[in-house]
Amino acid sequence: MSSEAFYELGADSEVAPQVQLGYRYPGCREPARIGRRARFHSGAVVYADTVIGDHFSCGHNATIRAECTIGDRVVILHGSTLEGRVTIGTGVKIMAHVYIPSTTTIGNMVFIGPGTNLLNAKLPMRKAGVQGPMIGNHVVIGGGVTIGPGVTIGDNAFIAAGAVVMKDVPPNSLALGCPAQVRPLPAEFGAGNDPAQIFGGADLWDQRPNPEPWPEGFDPSAEA
Ligand SMILES: CC(C)(COP(=O)(O)OP(=O)(O)OC[C@H]1O[C@@H](n2cnc3c(N)ncnc32)[C@H](O)[C@@H]1OP(=O)(O)O)[C@@H](O)C(=O)NCCC(=O)NCCS
């Protein structure tokens, strides 16, 4: 395969050594396209045929495979994997060591806690066909959560740490435990995620402020 660069990268981006953008795989067609002000830490890999918006922040050894579509202002921390054909909206924060299988869709302003696993096959190695979870807008998924194949998580739902969610969760609900039990979302959990918390302060080792913060109260879901 050619070693020629196979990506387009927007202005004011920072790419550490040992980052691979536009990884070529057999049959790849288009370069990886990444917007402006992206930041890649060492070891990150982005496949060809993936499109990423502006202000992307990517941790060490994150792997983003082919045919992913990722919106603006998305943060993916170290060791996380997007298996390809994953769609992610705007203002999404994915913590470290998260696994996202192909055909998953994630809305705007979603938080996914560390070590969470999304799944896309109900009877793996027994029955063909995959369907990843469908995550709405303003969802919080805690650390160490498992979400089953084809499960829909409604807008503004909150999935407690360690939950195993194999059935749909309606909007504005709280899901806890294994198997997850669903309750109405307590009022104190709020009515949505705060865009101001996506960048800045969350990474002990990179405290640089985002140069173009969102206006206070901005909600990308409202723009969609
Ligand atoms: C869901 C959550 C917010 C609940 O916190 P809380 O309101 O302080 O909960 P409480 O300690 O008051 O417990 C309320 C009830 O929920 C249960 N509960 C709380 N957290 C639970 C969890 N993660 N799984 C299952 N049950 C849980 C408690 O046992 C208690 O049950 P009861 O009403 O039968 O007595 C919290 O457990 C959680 O998961 N936060 C997310 C943390 C996270 O993953 N962060 C990621 C970034 S690092």
- Dihedral sign, Cα of residue 167, residue 224, residue 131, residue 198: negative
pLDDT (mean) for 19-34: 97
Q: What residue has token string 């998953």? A: 104
Distance 212 CA to ligand 1 centre (A): 34
* Nearest of 132, 111, 106 to residue 224 by alpha carbon: 106
pLDDT tens digits for range 187-198 = 999 989 988 777
What is the DSSP code string of 170-209? -TTEEEETTTTEEEEPPGGG-SS--GGGSSSSS-TT--PP
Q: What is the rounded CA–CA span in Å between residue 24 and residue 152? A: 32
pLDDT tens digits for range 87-145 = 999 999 999 999 999 999 999 999 999 999 999 999 999 999 999 999 999 999 999 99
Scanning the chain, the segments in alpha helix (DSSP H) are 220-223
The model carries a pTM of 0.94
What confidence score (pLDDT) does residue 3 get? 59
- Please report which confidence band the pLDDT of residue 203 belongs to, taking 50, 70 and 90 as the band edges: low
User: Is residue 162 in contact with ligand 1, taking CB distance under 6 Å?
Assistant: yes
pLDDT tens digits for range 147-163 = 999 999 999 999 999 99
The domains found in the chain, sorted by start residue, are 1-91 (2.160.10.10), 109-193 (2.160.10.10)
Ligand 1 nearest atom to the CA of residue 174, by list position: 1
Distance 143 CA to ligand 1 centre (A): 11
- What percentage of the chain has pLDDT greater than the value 70? 89
Do the bridges between strand 20-23 and strand 45-47 make them parallel or antiparallel, or are there none, so unpaired?
A: parallel
Residue to mutate, 80, 111, 176, 203, ligand 1, most ligand atoms under 8 Å from C-beta: 176
User: Is residue 9 in contact with ligand 1, taking CB distance under 6 Å?
Assistant: no
Whether the predicted pLDDT of 224 surpasses 60? no
